[in-house]
Amino acid sequence: ETGVTQTPRHLVMGMTNKKSLKCEQHLGHNAMYWYKQSAKKPLELMFVYSLEERVENNSVPSRFSPECPNSSHLFLHLHTLQPEDSALYLCASSQAWGSNQPQHFGDGTRLSIL
Amino acid sequence: SQQGEEDPQALSIQEGENATMNCSYKTSINNLQWYRQNSGRGLVHLILIRSNEREKHSGRLRVTLDTSKKSSSLLITASRAADTASYFCATDHAGNKLTFGGGTRVLVKP
């Protein structure tokens, strides 16, 4: 148990569907992150929220839309995805926003686009 | 371009042996972190080493950092089957974000 819970664990969707990934952290952390992990590629940072404000947006296509309603919850809304978006999406949190902070990861959502 | 690169990409050892993997990076860093990822799971933080530190230990793990060579190593001593996982280094090179390497896949055979 890492203290970071992601749901669903697996998701299969068509390119025209709309779905959302959910992340919840029970660690009292102030920063939350979305990463994309594709086969044979390094982990890619997508978004960072610090105290519920987006502080990093790494040139992610607009078909990915993050939402952070409070410091414990983070969502990634998906619409009109492409086959190359199939990947493991990982959520993480840290005590504060900063690269000197260890990050705590959830177990990810395995996303498959048909 | 990716900041940290692990070497080797894959490593197979017998239980009880030591495993060593390396991470090289291109520009100066403030700190470097190592993470482990078991199959189908998220990453787990192992050790953070700051740029003014040369070595850190945590249980059976030993991390070294050589800023003159822009490299770090992770040593797992007396490996166990449960150490089978992918290991990633992550560097901070600018601002507040970490950049992860491609990882080393370690297989510990019983």
Going by C-beta distance under 8 Å and a sequence separation of 6 or more, which residues neighbour residue A93?
A: A3, A4, A25, A27, A29, A31, A32, A33, A103, A104
CB contact under 8 A, A100 and B50: yes
Please indicate if any CB of chain A lies within 8 Å of the CB of B43.
yes
Confidence at B108, pLDDT banded by 50, 70, 90: very high
pLDDT of residue A97: 87
- Tens digit of pLDDT for each residue in A31-89? 999 999 998 788 999 999 999 899 888 889 999 999 999 999 999 999 999 999 999 99
Please indicate if any CB of chain B lies within 8 Å of the CB of A97.
yes
Portion of chain B with pLDDT greater than 70, in percent: 95
Phi, psi of A84 (to 5 degrees): -70, -5
CB contact under 8 A, A99 and B42: no
A 51-70 residues with CB < 8 A to B: 55-56
Q: Is the pLDDT of residue A99 over 80?
A: no
Distance CA B110, CA B99 (A): 33
Cβ-Cβ contacts under 8 Å between A and B: the total is: 58
Among B97, B102, B103, beta carbon nearest to A99: B97
Residues in chain A with CB shorter than 8 Å from the CB of B101 are 42
Q: Is the pLDDT of residue B94 over 70?
A: no
Interface test with A, best of B97, B99, B104 (most A CBs within 10 A): B97
Please indicate if any CB of chain B lies within 8 Å of the CB of A41.
yes
Confidence at A113, pLDDT banded by 50, 70, 90: very high
Please indicate if any CB of chain A lies within 8 Å of the CB of B1.
no
- Look over chain B and give the mean of its residue pLDDT values, rounded to a whole number: 92
A107: tokens are 């177990």
